Structure 1
Amino acid sequence: MKKILFLSLFISFKMFGQTPKIDVVVGDTENVNGIRAVLKPTNPTNIYTAITGENNSTNGNGYGVRGFHSGSGSGVFGGSISGVGVYGESAFGGGVSGFSAESSGVFGSSDTGIGGQFTSSNSGYALKTEGKVEFRGLNGAGTNKFLKSTNSNGNAEWSDLLPYSQTSTSTSALLKITNTSTSGYNGIQGETFSSGLGFGIHGIANSTTPSGPNAGVWGKNSSTNSLGYGVGGTHSGTGAAVRGETTNGIGGSFESTNGYSIQTSGKIKFAG
């Protein structure tokens, strides 16, 4: 009887209705589904759906399937034992799109798995964002920190920018900083407030059997006139602006092919 009534309603809508619509209303005291469709084949040979919605609109209006919830529940819910709960696909647009005025447009969560996973099989982007990005639930969150990988699985945690230490093998410079400004600013500036044995910049050449003139700190000046220094130093007190020290070698070595090896302005003091 129910099938006959439904068929009669459908035929009448098809023939006479201007806006075909079927309303299924569940009473306030009934705890049942509004519409329930069951697809019973356990091993289908094609992709079938228990409920299919289709919208033939050629513009951006309308939905194939739409769900709405008046409370804090879900407008559309999808579940799967081992597959995908909700799947969206689009040739040129978004496979899944979400919007929220004050909360999460798209929300994913998991107990022991992954709340959200994004992949790109070709040269596209697995994840692209526009606007701010916020990370929660990671250890050590705070201001002026960066995400550091903690293992080969890609796990990360917040870490302080400094102190920083890294060891790597490379045939080129591991760190190169270039300041292209011509207004007299530094490429690298190091400062220390230590009252003893502190260095603004400390360089170490670790080879004990070098085959060439290795240097802990090396300076080069590309000037073609007489201005500037390869390495310069100043001292605000009565100490030495530049110091060289060695146990058995030479404290300072100066060479010049055509110019002067040493040029002084002021008094010279020999001690020791």
Structure 2
Amino acid sequence: MRLTVLGGCGAWPTAEQACSGYVVEHDGFRLLVDPGYATFPRLLELMTPGCVDAVLVSHGHPDHCADLNPLLRARALGGTRLPPLALHAPHGALDAVLALDKPGMLASSYTVRPFRPGERFGLGPFAVQTWDLPHFVPNAGLRLSAGGVSVAYTGDTGPSPDISRLADGADLFLSEATYLHTVPDPGDAPYLLTAQGAGRYAARAGAGRLLLTHLWPGTDPQAALAAAAQTYDGPVAVASGGLAVDLAGR
């Protein structure tokens, strides 16, 4: 299994970094996870729009799904007849982005396959487990397993005992880490994580390695790594465009 980062910036993209977006590949199947702002150009550096086999979205915030629109436009209007793209997301999460164009314009380019966080299902070669994790809108923590390895991804979340269950023994734990040590607004604290907290969950779960994502724009990546290393002594990296992680089990 291989995970390639398209972007890992939280809230909005910067000149250097797209928002959340990842491609997970196994046995030739290409799964696009969370196509947030500015991820589509990065995707085109890797493949054509027709090479995407399915899309999986953790929640409906635009920094996790806005670039689904240009992907669907390219598939529907690009001149090559392509099969409808399966879009897996929590119920209602894609309503806003799918309503950006006039009714019916892109309808032939996709099929929506909604799920409720907590459900399990198959997606190509992947076994998908989901958890209902706390955020401002319904958010699904995602665990993808195939070929004896697994990737656990929080989407955006606040503290929850389910995070340790999501990441339990995962080969790669991809965790939101919006801030370094504390969430500055107490009202946001139930819905966002820190790099230090991500490290703590990775250690509790016995994850093989930790990849920090959704850093607030302008955050020093080295400071995020240092914060996570205070609570987790395994390999840690920051999700940045172009980073690829190959997983072959432990």
TM over 0.5: no
Structure with higher Rg: it is 1
Structure richer in helix, relative to its length: 2
